[in-house]
Copies of this chain bind each other. A is one copy, B any other.
């Protein structure tokens, strides 16, 4: 019998990375590992679902980094389709329910990892549960949507929500040959961008053939007599829909943690320390889409659901559970996506976020090209940069442009982490050759303009 038992709740990125890393450090004789997963899938790339739906990725199996049998072969007792329904912190045990047999049991633990993830926001609107209305958070969701696309009478899709998932799904529907309307609440889609940059994205989507409706407050889903979705209604109009996709963001899945009295932040997500341990609990760690992370730029804790963070959390938790040591310093808010040929990326603070933090700033927006202007395939790209008044500290960058634009956001992500000023950035030794960049990389051009603007501002 193992000396200790680790229980992991949630078998996706954070949970299974933690389990795998702990297993690398501790043998089954030292540490028994039991993992519970509600669904039928482990360790899959939820971020890849739009590309599977689009047909770019031929099968959901390609999205699975490691299946249940692979985990079991590494000595992890993985219980699939088994939901943890209660967490007894005082008793150091969890109650689980087999979703097929309905059988329940208690499992005790010495150490616990909570990686329960997030769930898509699904507003309580009339008709929202009608056949043909889909979330796209899990492989099961993707499969249901694909079936729905096949059975759609006509080919009109409405996407509700203009965030990352919304715009990726709009592209996917378009690729599938649907007429696509995207409904978004604000003045522009992608609220993590400033409206001027969001507007560039709107224009790009419309050039690609997506109808973008802004300031759209969805009020209900209308259905056929069969019960299937017929249209999505806003306060101002009805949009015919043979399929509707919800892309309204996610909310942390922390009911278990809340019921157990674990500390939650304002977002409803778990609060951990730098070692990913749940505050106040020696033997409980949490990671992935169910926690808040420190935003290194603002100093605030925020809920950011992103697979790449979940993987990092899992590694760090696994190291700590396994007797090693690791910490997660935080994030700078980097995100990237694309719609057809247009790439979009952001990091740090937007204008709205900077104002919310009481930070005064200047902005610099420049137009350049993805590669040397004379090199074949040069495409326009726009870079917007925010720098703090007086200090000149970089606060944030947003990019919208052609192929090769978006990954440049990493330059800013590293600069933010290092707390560089825009003046320091102007001298960065970035890679230059005509097939890769103008002689001044667009990020440097933006930094130069930010410096001038700061000087002019005094």
Contact = CB atoms under 8 A, between A and B. Distances in A.
A243 to B, nearest CB: 22
A62 B48 CA distance: 40
A406 B436 contact: yes
A106 interface: no
Given A329-B427, A374-B62, A414-B415, A434 B48 contact: yes
A447 to B, nearest CB: 11
Interface string A419-448: 010001011111111111101110000001
A211 interface: no
A429 B375 contact: no
A113 to B, nearest CB: 19
Nearest to A414: B414
A51 B328 contact: no
Contacts of A439: 13, 45, 47, 65, 307-308, 311
Q: How many copies does the complex hold?
A: 2
A191 to B, nearest CB: 17
A408 interface: yes
A217 interface: no
Interface in A41-67: 45, 47-48, 51, 56-57, 62-63, 65
Contact of A334 (B336, B375, B404, B430): B430
Interface in A287-329: 306-309, 311-312, 315, 328-329
Given A48-B375, A312-B426, A404-B407, 11 more contacts: A13-B439, A47-B433, A307-B439, A312-B427, A330-B429, A334-B431, A345-B431, A410-B430, A410-B431, A413-B429, A414-B415
The list of the 6 closest CB pairs from A to B, nearest first, reads: A418-B418, A336-B431, A308-B432, A62-B374, A414-B414, A331-B429
